[in-house]
Amino acid sequence: MDWDETSITILDPGGEYEDVQIIMHEEVVYIRQFDFDSEHYDYCIISPKQMLALMKAFKLPAGAYQLEEEREE
């Protein structure tokens, strides 16, 4: 195990879809899912800020979102 990463595996309770793995590093986040047809992983590579926006967007209505930078006072 690489101690410089956080890894989360999400299972499909119905067993219809392959597991999704999220591998988070300080500078990049990989979202991957194994494709048995190609025998390779499919990847989505995003920034940690995009991952945070994705997590926050699940609580919002459909639309396009951009996080505002938090300002220090």
| DSSP sequence for 12-72 | -TTSSS--EEEEE-SS-EEEEEEETTTTEEEEEEE-HHHHHHHHHHTTS-SS---PPPPPP
Model pLDDT, residue 11: 96
Q: Is residue 69 part of a domain?
A: no
Q: Is residue 65 part of a domain?
A: no
The answer, yes or no, to whether residue 1 has pLDDT greater than 60, is no
The answer, yes or no, to whether residue 8 has pLDDT greater than 60, is yes
> 11 is in which domain, residue-wise?
6-53
Q: How confident is the model at residue 71 (pLDDT cuts 50, 70, 90)?
A: low
- Split into its structural domains, the chain has a count of 1
- Give 63 or 17, the one with higher predicted confidence: 17
What average pLDDT does this structure show over 23-38?
Answer: 96
Q: Is the overall model pTM greater than 0.85, yes or no?
A: no
